[in-house]
Amino acid sequence: MEAARGVWRGGGRAVTGGFLLAVTACGPPPDQDSEDQRPPRSPAVVRVVPADGARDVRPLGVLRVEAGPGRLVGVRVIDGRGRAVVGRLSRDQRLWLPRGRLSPATTYTVAVVAVNAEGERTDLRSRFTTAYPEGALVGHFTPEDGSVVGVGMPVSLRFNRPVTQRATVERAIRVSADPAVEIAGHWFGDQRLDYRPREYWLPGTRVTLRLRLAGVEGAPGFYGVQDRTVRFTVGRSQVSTVDVARHTMTVRRDGQVVRVIPISAGSPDHPTYNGRMVISEKSPVTRMNGATVGFGDAYDIPDVPHAMRLTASGTFLHGNYWAAQEVFGRANTSHGCIGLADVKPSRRRAKGVRPAPRDTTSGETPAAWFYRQSMTGDVVEVVNSVDRTVAPDNGLNGWNLDWAGWLRGGAPR
């Protein structure tokens, strides 16, 4: 006896709907006499939703396996990589439901075993494929898996489309730390979700981000596709204080001052933001063009050395070889960035410009030394500037919100 796709055929009857299977006991043909005329037996009937061969199935809340009459004694659902879907069986063994969410764009195989009242067995196999939502919801995360970061690094997720079901998405994300510490999420608009503790991470903390977004509806018709775990480690503590009025940067490592460096910050016309800023990226050499940040043709420097980004709007801490060396420690002349004495990446100095002072031990310029000593996630705090405090969403700078303000940014429960 052979089961056709979606229909079991036997004795001239066809049973359909979802996916139904009826199995009768083997015995003499109906027109054959038998001295033992027992009452007819109730076959085990299995129904699987979605139907065998179904495509573009919604990944949430649709899979179910039912038996009746009879009971289920085995249900196994696996994806194309052999990973099993964990499920739960009702007390009467007539209903099986998955515990979690299915993944989009995935083919699942369902294998079912059921028995009727007499213990006779029914076997069923079916397949269905879940839909890949048009423009799936994806969260791009910082920092990267396996990275070592400074104590100020938040976990930051930027979604590729607006999230309307914020509480649902938050429930599918977990950030934990070892040693344990309270961690909370904060939404900056509808496409960015950051996580941080009340204070900076302790050095040596191991942080784990668990994304269980696969199948989660973040907005009507848009489902997450990620199911992964990201781990990173917090390195030593380095927090540097830039005093704009004194033209200095004091570098503290694990609370101890290791160096005071002369700097030149933003001019009175273009002051540097106050506040705590986190180094979000490092570039040995980069181009800085005033036109990209609203300064027109004020500058276009193709080879800015030792550049470390502090804000999304274009504030950097970087090496400066074009300014007179006398400005470092004495005057603020930039368009908002924090400059440290340096040389051109080619090591050839512009005519008439004296060489940058070098560290007597390492032979490095101040900018080169600080670049080598820094990592993403380190904190640079600017004080005594005439400008306002940097916005908490301008870069990875949520530390400029107090804890109460941070907690108010979580999704309503």
CATH label, 139-235, candidates 3.90.550.10, 3.30.56.10, 2.60.40.3710, 3.30.70.20: 2.60.40.3710
Please write the tens of the pLDDT for every residue from 131-158.
766 778 889 899 999 999 999 999 999 9
d(C-alpha 318, C-alpha 290), whole Å: 15
The pLDDT score that the predictor gives to residue 132 is 62
Q: What is the pTM of this model?
A: 0.69
Can you read off the two tokens belonging to residue 64?
Answer: 């179910």
Select from 28, 54, 52, 56 the least CA-distant residue to 40.
28
The pLDDT score that the predictor gives to residue 358 is 60
Please write the tens of the pLDDT for every residue from 314-368.
999 999 999 999 999 999 999 899 999 999 986 544 444 455 666 545 579 999 9
d(C-alpha 285, C-alpha 287), whole Å: 7
The pLDDT score that the predictor gives to residue 39 is 54
d(C-alpha 210, C-alpha 227), whole Å: 8
Mean pLDDT of the 388-408 span: 98
Task: Characterize the bridge pairing of strands 206-212 and 173-178.
Answer: antiparallel
Tracing tokens 């420690």 back to the chain, one arrives at: 329
Determine what percent of the chain is predicted with pLDDT higher than 90: 61
The pLDDT score that the predictor gives to residue 55 is 84
The pLDDT score that the predictor gives to residue 31 is 44
Mean pLDDT of the 9-22 span: 34
Active-site annotation holder among 186, 247, 306, 318 = 318
The pLDDT score that the predictor gives to residue 106 is 83
The mean-pLDDT minimum among 3-17, 145-159, 202-216 falls in 3-17
State which of 48-52, 59-63, 124-128, 382-386 shows the largest mean pLDDT: 382-386
- Higher-pLDDT residue of 338 and 122 is 338
Tracing tokens 């018709």 back to the chain, one arrives at: 221
Band (53; pLDDT cuts 50, 70, 90): confident
Domain ranges of the chain: 8-27+39-130, 139-235, 238-392
Tracing tokens 């100095």 back to the chain, one arrives at: 349
d(C-alpha 49, C-alpha 64), whole Å: 5
Is residue 313 a contact partner of residue 322, using CB atoms and an 8 Å limit? no
Band (78; pLDDT cuts 50, 70, 90): very high
Select from 90, 79, 100, 185 the least CA-distant residue to 406.
185
Q: Do the domains 8-27+39-130 and 238-392 sit in the same CATH topology, yes or no?
A: no
The pLDDT score that the predictor gives to residue 30 is 40
The pLDDT score that the predictor gives to residue 17 is 37
- CATH architecture of the domain 238-392 equals Beta Barrel (2.40)
- Higher-pLDDT residue of 239 and 38 is 239
Across the chain, what does the average pLDDT equal? 85
Q: Which residues pair with 195 in a beta bridge?
A: 155, 185
Mean pLDDT of the 59-88 span: 88
The mean-pLDDT minimum among 135-144, 155-164, 166-175 falls in 135-144
318 is catalytic: yes
Name the 3-class secondary structure at 277: strand
CATH label, 8-27+39-130, candidates 3.30.2130.10, 3.60.15.10, 2.60.40.3780, 3.55.40.20: 2.60.40.3780
- Helix residue spans in 274-391 (DSSP H): 366-373
End-to-end Cα spacing for the chain: 54
Task: Characterize the bridge pairing of strands 338-341 and 54-57.
Answer: unpaired
Active-site annotation holder among 247, 306, 335, 337 = 337
SS3 of the chain: helix, strand, coil, percent, to 5: 5, 40, 50
